[in-house]
Amino acid sequence: MTFNPLQERGIPIERQFRNWSELNVAPYDKESVHPFSRCRGIVMNGAEMEAIWFSHNMARHTADPQIKQQLALVRRAEAQQQKAINWLIPGDETTLEVTIGYEQVAVDLTAWIARHEPDAYLRQVYEFGLLEDFDHLYRYANLMALTEGDKKAEQIVGGLTEITPGRPTIFEHRDPRDEIRRPMTALAAETQSVLNALTVMAAEQQTMNFYMTIGNRPQEPLARGLYAEIAEIEEQHVSHYESILDPTASWLTNLVLHEYNECWLYWSFMQQEPDARVKALYELHLNMEIEHLRLACEMMRQVENRDPAEMLPKAMTEPLMFQDNKAYLRQVLGAQVDLTASEDRFLPIGELPRDHRYFAYQAKVNEGGVPSEQVIDAAKSRLGRDYRFESEGPNPAEGLRRDDERNGAKTQYAERLAA
């Protein structure tokens, strides 16, 4: 099924506004919600947040009052979309349960994107980030085992995603300058590459915002520490992903691409959503996005005198899917756990020179104890062993298996940092 949002008619902007009771949607039932349904909602909330902040930033760089008004009009509708989506999350879902959902998004969204990225360098960028978020899932799952005892993270992820160490969070802390990647050239890139980057960036940014905001809600010092530590990695990841976007794309190009991306996301999710009520919401929002895209295109024609159709594909063909990525993750984890980054390159930690700034940064932030390690130590001492959900066998990286299952094997990271 192909779809070209440029040729569809959406809902006229002045008819898009909803009243308070329409916005205050009934939340899903946390016991019966499909895990990927939870994930889709988290992605769309992130995409709407990005749309809103992008529009605010554009408005701050726009002199024309008429254009500013137009941005405000669409932005208000987007702000309503954000409420309708994010208010699907029920109040009885704990912050930590939602967190597990966020990390499942970071894993299975990034995995799909990496598998569908036409550019090899960008694919490497996604695989690099993927293993880090995969590890966060394991750390938070252990926090859940410690603090919400009877609940298991595997129930939240519905057994669809494995929970086991990835690139250990302790080793993810790098000098900020080494998070800046090489940007794509949008004029020469495939549209899929642009959509991939916008989507993952929006998701990671929302994860960062979420942890920045709710990380101080727990009372336990360990939980607060873990949120603070992982929130800092999300800051790294936003730098990592935003740096692959083309810095030479104009504001209007970016606006059109943002709206096009939202069309792609709603179109994708509408097709997979099993909950009829949520599916209808996605369909409604798609019809709104078609209008937002039309208005952005019209703005581009007026201001830049360009036809946006020239830079967009004739049709969308492949929907973004939430699906099982276990085998793929195992393969990436087995091959890339020991990678690190230096400027825009990725290389095995063993090849990093002794005096690289990575080691200084590591020594600085990790010197007083590391929450992502402490949470595992606490699980081992209080629960007997760390919490894992390894449905497909032991961790593919021998050095990441449980102490009694790895025959003394170590990751290159562990060897290098111990030396």
Partner 1 sequence: MARRTQTKSKSRTAARAGTKRAATTRRKPAAASRSATRRKSAAPRKPARRRGRLTVTPAMKKIARQMSQMVAEQTVPADATALLKQDHREVESFFEQYEQLDSKAEKGKLAAKICLMLTVHAMIEEELLYPAAHEESEAVESDLVDEAIVEHASAKQLIAEIEAMKPGEELYDAKVKVLGEYVKHHVKEEENELFPQLQDSELDLRELGEKLMQRKIELLAQMTGKA
What is the distance of C-alpha 400 from the center of its chain? Answer: 24
Interacting positions 186-205 with partner 1 (CB under 8 A): 187-188
Site string for partner 1, 223-252 (x = CB under 8 A): ------------------------xxxxx-
What is the nearest approach in angstroms of partner 1 to the Cβ of residue 121?
5
- Exposed e or buried b for every residue in 20-34, given b needs 16+ CB within 10 A? eeeeebeebebeebb
Site string for partner 1, 276-315 (x = CB under 8 A): ----------------------x--xxxxxxx--xx----
Residue choice 3, 53, 87, 121 for contact with partner 1 (CB under 8 A)? 121
> Quick one: which of 180, 200, 236, 227 has its CA closest to 107?
200
What is the nearest approach in angstroms of partner 1 to the Cβ of residue 56?
16
What is the nearest approach in angstroms of partner 1 to the Cβ of residue 410?
30
Residue choice 120, 327, 418, 419 for contact with partner 1 (CB under 8 A)? 120
Rounded Cα distance, 414 and 401, in Å: 13
Cβ closest to partner 1, residue 12 vs residue 221? 12
Cβ closest to partner 1, residue 194 vs residue 337? 194
What is the nearest approach in angstroms of partner 1 to the Cβ of residue 70?
9
Cβ closest to partner 1, residue 183 vs residue 319? 183
Q: How many residues does the chain have?
A: 419
Interacting positions 325-344 with partner 1 (CB under 8 A): 344
Cβ closest to partner 1, residue 34 vs residue 68? 68
Number of residues that bind partner 1 (CB under 8 A): 30
Contacts of residue 282, defined as CB under 8 A and 6 or more positions apart, other chains included, come to 40, 44, 266, 269, 270, 273
Interacting positions 45-74 with partner 1 (CB under 8 A): 61-64, 66-67
- As a whole number of angstroms, the longest Cα–Cα distance in the chain is 68
> Quick one: which of 411, 377, 373, 401 has its CA closest to 170?
373
What is the nearest approach in angstroms of partner 1 to the Cβ of residue 412?
23
Cβ closest to partner 1, residue 278 vs residue 297? 297
Q: How far apart are the first and last CA of the chain?
A: 55
Interacting positions 343-382 with partner 1 (CB under 8 A): 344
Site string for partner 1, 150-189 (x = CB under 8 A): --------------------------------xx-x-xx-
What is the nearest approach in angstroms of partner 1 to the Cβ of residue 131?
20
Task: Name the site residues for partner 1 (rule: CB under 8 A).
Answer: 61-64, 66-67, 119-121, 182-183, 185, 187-188, 247-251, 298, 301-307, 310-311, 344
